[in-house]
A and B are shown apart, each in its own frame.
Chain A
Amino acid sequence: MSSQARGRRAFRFILPALLCMLFVHVIPIFWGAYIAFIDLDIYTITRWMQAPFVGLRNFFTVFSPATDVGVRYLRSIWNVVYFGLVTIPAGYLIGLLVALLLNRKFFGRTLVRGLILLPYITPDSVAYNVWRFIFQARIGIVNKYLLALGLIKEPIIWLVGDRAIYAVMIASVWKGWPFACLVLLAGLQSIPQELYEAAKIDGASSFGLFRFVTFPMLRPVSATLLLLSAIWNFHAFNQFYILLGADPGKAHVPSTFILQEAFTNFHFGQGAAMSVFLTVVVLLMTVVILRVRRRGEEW
């Protein structure tokens, strides 16, 4: 079979998947880039070709510290970065510690491993609604125990204002670390036992074993895991939207803010401009991750 014929045969099999990708991913990405340059609102949406072309004005507006939208957008970007800087290392560390615990053999290990997966497989909508209940000021258990321990005198309002982002971080780490744990556990179990034996013969302490065998052997898995988490961090939406509502105020992240600007205030053009920036950031990070992964990896 000629290579052209082979390509055509593969094309027939992949066509439905290609069409889905085309309509849901490819066209919207490019169209979104176009919308970012026009002044599109609720009146012009069906006559979008007549919407005035405004060049870079949408971008200037959303990045200007002088406009309300700009201030809030820049703040939402800072929020999502801050959110990632806290939740990714925290989730990684907890995941690593628990993976080290679970890498030992003990009675009931399978059960424990199944139970720690629960947060990961529980639907976001369920998990974050339960956390919302837990964080309630007057009826929640967080304040109940903080008061009982004497750490606070008055119930804290967790889900509004400056503290809101920390409540979201706690809930997200709770939901996210089992995945890191799972990946790291798989990494730990792929380390050949001989390496440990050799290191023990050389007189390594148990910290030495971790420092010179476990940690270096986990490096590739950790690098991919952390980079992927950094990219997926920009997807953060569910935890903010469910815990804090459609308008998280000071705790907006880009996803919630763009949703609000586009679908509550109908600033589609500005919303698209903000989305395009996110797309570019994620694209750059993807290039990095592909470079990191390419070492000897064949797809």
Chain B
Amino acid sequence: MVRRTLRGILGRVLFGLAIFLVLAGVLIPYLWMVSGSFKTTLEIQSADVLKPELSPRWFPRKFTWENYLRVNRTVRMLDYFRNSIIISVGTMVFSVGISLFAAYALSRFAFSWKRTYTLAVLSTQMFPGISFLIPYFMMFVLIKHYLGLPMQNTYWGMIFTYTSFALPFSILMLRNFLDSIPREIDEQAQIDGCTPTGALFRVILPLAKPGIAAVGIYSFIMAWNEVLFATVLTGRETKTVALGLLEYITAQQARWAGMMAACILVSIPVLVLFSLMQRYIIEGLVAGATKG
């Protein structure tokens, strides 16, 4: 009996230790980021792992808010925030609107090319961005050349690009959500004289709010985080925060403290939005990896 309780205690201690190690592994980079964001640039630059008295420390020698207050001083971070907000909100709006119609059709209509279309949507998720980037860039160049419509380094060019990136996942996630709303509800609305579009807006839309919010947030985050296409298609006027962060480190100067403060500011919108809709987005993402 005593042996059994001893084993039980030992098991609990080991279990607690394992959980602690996992959390430490996850959280250490965040602690380092937060600590770095409160250090002075001088402290970071003069740090040296070889000299014990200068070895990088977890607690800032001199605690400072400067990095947050002057986040815009060396890098035009506030401009990049504005660009990212415009592009991400635009992506969110278009992605929700377009995917709502497509998902409604997939969920409620019977038509012959449904399976083919669903497979096509799924398969676009598989190709790496670099597969499209060169011809897509050329398309932008040619649209400008022949139609005089600038696409590169414009908000609408980026919004169109990111909307298309967000659509496959948005459509499939929203379709799953609409499938969970009983069909009888919109059938009844149509018996009462609604058109399919009318039923979508008057009956389905209010019921699908959580799904719509999740899709919108997913689209926003996707546009906020994208790097590859942004390196080629954005320019001085449209550069997003994901790329702006890289500007803190140049060949001449490494402004790690400023970068860490900017990193925290860039993460906040994503973390807040994600936690609002955590359950739905995670369900959707897990389903994406398990069910399609």
> Which positions in A face B, CB cutoff 8 Å?
3, 6-7, 9-11, 13-14, 16-17, 20-21, 23-25, 27-29, 31-32, 35, 40, 45-46, 48, 98, 101, 104, 106, 112, 114-119, 121-127, 129-134, 136-141, 143-144, 147, 155, 174, 178-179, 182-183, 186-187, 221, 224-225, 228, 231, 234-235, 237-238, 241-242, 254-255, 258-259, 262-263, 268, 271-272, 275-276, 278-279, 282-283, 285-286, 289-290, 293, 297, 299
Contact = CB atoms under 8 A, between A and B. Distances in A.
B130 A13 contact: no
Contact of A10 (B109, B271, B282): B109
A285 B126 CA distance: 9
Nearest to A234: B128
Interface string B101-131: 1101110011111110111111110111111
A144 B167 contact: no
Given A32-B132, A133-B36, A7 B29 contact: no
A123 B127 CA distance: 21
Contacts of B225: 123-125
Given A14-B106, A183-B290, 11 more contacts: A14-B117, A32-B134, A124-B242, A125-B241, A125-B245, A130-B29, A138-B49, A231-B126, A259-B133, A262-B137, A275-B133
A141 B127 contact: no
B281 to A, nearest CB: 9
A130 B131 contact: no
A22 to B, nearest CB: 9
B156 interface: no
Contacts of B30: 118, 130
A21 B120 contact: yes
Contacts of A121: 221, 270-271, 274
A221 to B, nearest CB: 5
Interface in B249-292: 249, 256, 259-260, 263, 266-267, 270-271, 274, 278, 282, 285-286, 289-292
Contacts of B168: 21
Contacts of A104: 15
Given A6-B109, A126-B266, A293-B292, A186 B286 contact: yes
Interface string B20-56: 0011011111101100100000001101111000011
Contact of B228 (A29, A48, A137, A237): A237
Q: Which of A124, A133, A147 has the most CB of B within 10 A?
A: A133
Nearest to B34: A130
B136 interface: yes
A127 B29 contact: yes
A130 B32 CA distance: 8
Given A3-B112, A155-B50, A282-B128, A241 B25 contact: no
B99 interface: yes
A143 B270 CA distance: 31
Nearest to A9: B109
